[in-house]
Chain A
Amino acid sequence: MIRSITAPDPKQAPASGCFPGIDYDQNPEVWAKAAGRAVYGTDLKMPGMLYGKILRSPCPHARIKKIDTAAAEAMPGVRAVLTGEGLGCKPFGIVVDDELPLAVDRVRYIGDEVACVAAVDLQTAERAVQSIRVEYEELPAVFSPAEALEENAPQLHRDFPGNVAWQRNISRGDSEAAFREADHVVENTFTVPAVHPTYLEPISCVAESDRCDGLVLHTALQSPDSVRAIVAKVLELPLSRVRVIGPVMGGGFGGRVYGNLKLYILSSLLAMKTGWPVKMQLTREEEFTVGRPMIAAELKMKMALRSDGTILAREAEIITDNGAYSAQAPWVSNTISERNDSVYRIPAVKTGVRLVYTNKVPTGQYRAYGNQAANFATESLIDMAAKKLGIDPLDLRLKNCIREGDVSVHGLQINRCALDECLKAAAKKIGWDRKKAGRGYGLSAAIHANGSLIFNKKFRGAAAQARLELDGRVTVFTGEQDYGQGAHAAFARIAAKALGLNPDLITVQSRDTMHSPYSLGALAMRQTTIGGKAVQLAAENLKEKIVQLAVSLSGEPATMENGVVRGSSGMVFDLAAIAYDYHSQTSGLSLLGEGKYVPEKSDYDDSGYGNISVTYSFAAHAAEVEIDRDTGALTVHRIVAAHDSGRIVNQVSARGQVYGGITQGLGMSCYEGYLFETGRVANASLADYKIPTALDIPEIEEIFIENEDPAGPYGAKGLGEIVMVPVLGAIANAVADAAGEWVTDLPITAEKIYQAMAGWECQ
């Protein structure tokens, strides 16, 4: 095993805060990644493995008249050809059932799956796919929600009249009265394009059937158990006959919670048909054209205020662009529609949100689930109000921000919260009181949930196991996923703290649904808070069992402190000896600690009012920017990120989350966004869809307000998603401060800034 040559002895190294061990992720897997030895999904190869390829629709909307697969089937090296006709699968989906593994009769976007093949090598599979002849009858298509909502618009799905996939109207308090009585009203319309998580490794899957008496998917997922359940349902297989084994994951950021379900289902179908493992992989172009970006949104928003800056109400009409199928877009739309309302004490809210089908790439989710898109709109509006009222944006935020003990307008229970401190700290560090001439400054605030109590109302928590191995080491089993964000290292530290052991002695396992406890997975910022708490409880349970065993072995009272088990007479018990003794007594069982974290039921009601999470993380960001007045070119000089994520488990990993999340926020603010030409993705490459490079990164300064939260393990809570949220508002407001006008359409490009400064109509 690779070990650092010069790293300090972990036992001697200074611990960070209250956690033992050295302060960076030192899992063996991290060393393997650095050495180029880690095995990712795209690296997988198996004996007898076939390669699958998908034929995709070239039309945005068409009827399939005929598919001729004869040439493909006759091609040497081709082992299977599938079309939608005859598959007999029922429609499936994540929230609404509107997809089929392969199109039957009709295609709804450029990229829709029409047929697939498995062949002995990729070149043969590609040639075979190209040889399939499809006759299409083109149908009129809709490329924007506005077109799709027109009265006589072509209808995409029979079960969803008017092209509305999902909608919700929320009303809390009396917003109409608030707007009548308000001294000031600010309003604007904000637009956000579809954005791709752009994990660096394209999605792949190797499906194996019949070799292990069931279906095995080798694919890296943030929520393997959720995907497993969907695949089993679509293929009508018993759940216990479907197993997901995760190779190392090359980035996820929400995009691999469900990944690409069609790819998993089609590789499974091909593996089941041929009896051989089938590998399928998206190309980078396919990642952009069929890879489930986060929904585009238009937010029409207005806010009512008193002259003293008190926010009285907010109203919004939101339309989100679903693309051809739904994936998680309803949930993302829901987050966009309401999460930001809980950043401030807003007494009344009225919001309508509609998710609309269009003949474009289907959408999914991205880190922070739309909260960042809404942050751009709502935080811009806050600054617009501050300007109108002549109140400092910091003062306006401090006057209204949510505080400990509050219940937000949507029923969120704010038990621990240092948002005001975050705001003050970010403003202080950026130099709010000593702004440099020629620079623009902006602030933004955010809230984000830590796991969901309502995603599955019955299944709200997490479970973990801690097993004492015969050598005295401990293995933690969890269903929570590590994809580089440091979850496993955090769990090792949490278990180490509970047991009083060095984290080096703890191994964390999560990548096989056959052995890991069931989990909702790495989503909704639940890993540290929910998964970590379960690990703490499992380790504590193991500790109890170890002590009990020592008592029964020695016949005297015993304790376990700093990892040492000691009887009252001073006798010390070796952990390996305890493990071995139990193993012998039971003829082979291992001493197993079990932990279950079952948060209390939520009071969440049918109107969507109520607590949605065990606790919430908070953040405030401040940005300092400069604009070239001749060209509109934007330089983001600094971002200060102040975070209340409770106790920080691992400083180095936490900093990595902050820098990475801010960089993604910068990308979404200034560079990224899908461009379409009549339904075709016009920037489907990394050359045309620009994500930030090393040359684009501002100075980033992080501040952790370690406000301990009892809801999480040892006071820790989530950080990974919220880091991306406030960046957008902070940059937008800093740009407005420098330019004198807001750019209300993302991304904030030089051209749009120039137009805003010139007072031209923004596109």
Chain B
Amino acid sequence: MKQQIIMFQLNGEPLEIYADPAESLLAILREKLGLYGTKAGCGKGECGACTVLVDDQAQNSCLIPAGKVQGRRVETIENLSRGDVVHPIQEAFVEKGAVQCGFCSPGMIMSAYALLKSSPQPAPEDVKTAISGNLCRCSGYKQIEEAVLCAGDKMKNRES
């Protein structure tokens, strides 16, 4: 398709890019913008490694044509930490042993982030459902679930 200007908000900042609107958001993030934190595991929406937030919803960025984010808010893993300050979800993931090879971690953390935005104190079953589109081959998911629940507590404590 012909390249065109696409405007959207990326990690809190307005952005204008010139790109093929049929190209995937994943390819734009990684290849055009150099944001390699979002991982490419299958390119078909089957593994969840490329999960980002679009208007606060967790989405497989490999399935979203770039043209579809026109005017919307996109958030990637890079937005969760600043320098040496990490998000409570990331902290919980490390402390609970939820990061092994780490390839699923950015997508998994973004799915957890979307869940905790809409449901700050989720039930264990909600956590399972929220991350069920994110495949992890290392962990057996148990420590990831512990981490998400722990992150909810950390975020609550930090607010109070």
User: Which residues of the other chain, A, contact B80 by a CB distance below 8 angstroms?
Assistant: 35-36
A485–B140 Cα distance when bound, in Å, is: 13
Is the CB–CB distance between B143 and A36 below 8 Å?
A: no
Q: Is B59 an interface residue (CB 8 A)?
A: no
Chain B residues touching A, range = 35 or more
Minimal beta-carbon separation of B1 from chain A (angstroms): 14
Interface positions, chain B 28-47, Cβ under 8 Å from A, are 30, 36-44, 46-47
**Given contact pairs A26-B94, A686-B44, A694-B144, A200 touches B99 in the complex (Cβ within 8 A):** no
User: Chain A 8-37 against B: per-residue CB contact (8 Å), 1 yes, 0 no?
Assistant: 000000000000000011100011011111
* A609 at the B interface (CB under 8 A): no
**B77 CB–A CB distance under 8 Å:** yes
Q: Map CB proximity to A onto B118-131 as digits: 1 under 8 Å, 0 otherwise.
A: 00000000011101
Partner of A656 from B109, B133, B139 at Cβ < 8 Å: B139
Q: Which of B2-10, B64-72, B85-93 makes up part of the contact surface?
A: B85-93
Q: Which of B30, B81, B91, B137 contacts A251 (CB 8 A)?
A: B137
Of A6, A200, A253, A653, which is in contact with the most chain B CB atoms at under 10 Å from its CB? A200
A36 pairs with B38, CB closer than 8 A: yes
Question: B97 at interface (Cβ–Cβ under 8 A)?
Answer: yes
Q: Measured between alpha carbons, how far is A202 from B101 in the docked complex, in Å?
A: 13
CB nearest neighbor in B for A639 = B140
Tell me if A670 counts as interface (CB < 8 A to partner B). Answer: no
A5-B96 contact in complex given A34-B109, A685-B42, C-beta closer than 8 Å: no
Cβ < 8 Å to A, chain B residues 55-76: 76
**A44 to chain B: closest residue by CB:** B36
In the assembly, what is the distance between CA of A213 and CA of B128, in Å? 51
Closest chain A CB from B22 CB (angstroms) = 13
Min CB gap A548→B, angstroms: 38
Q: In whole Å, how far is A49's beta carbon from the nearest beta carbon of chain B?
A: 12
Q: Is B54 an interface residue (CB 8 A)?
A: no
B159 to chain A, nearest CB (A): 14
The interface residues of chain A lying within 8 Å CB-to-CB of B141 are 659, 663, 693-694, 697
Q: A1-B84, A4-B94, A5-B86 are in contact. Are A659 and B99 (CB under 8 A)?
A: no
CA distance A659 to B131 in the complex (A): 16
The 8 Å CB contact of B138, one of A43, A248, A656, is A656
Q: Report B-chain residues with C-beta under 8 Å of the C-beta of A703.
A: none
Complex: how many Å from CA A695 to CA B47? 14
Cα separation A694 to B98 with both chains bound (whole Å) = 13
In the complex, chain B residues whose CB is within 8 Å of the CB of A311: none
B140 touches A484 (CB 8 A): no
Q: Which residues of B contact A36 (CB under 8 A)?
A: 36-38, 76-78, 80-81, 105-106, 109
Distance in angstroms between the alpha carbons of A663 and B145 in the assembled complex: 14
B interface with A by C-beta (< 8 Å): 30, 36-44, 46-47, 49, 76-78, 80-81, 84-86, 90-91, 93-97, 99-106, 109, 127-129, 131-145, 154
9 contacts between A and B (CB under 8 A): A25-B99, A201-B39, A202-B41, A250-B41, A251-B101, A251-B103, A652-B96, A652-B143, A693-B132
Given A35-B37, A250-B41, 17 additional A-B pairs, CB 8 A: A26-B94, A31-B90, A34-B93, A36-B37, A36-B77, A36-B81, A36-B106, A39-B36, A200-B104, A250-B102, A659-B143, A661-B140, A663-B141, A664-B137, A685-B44, A695-B128, A700-B140
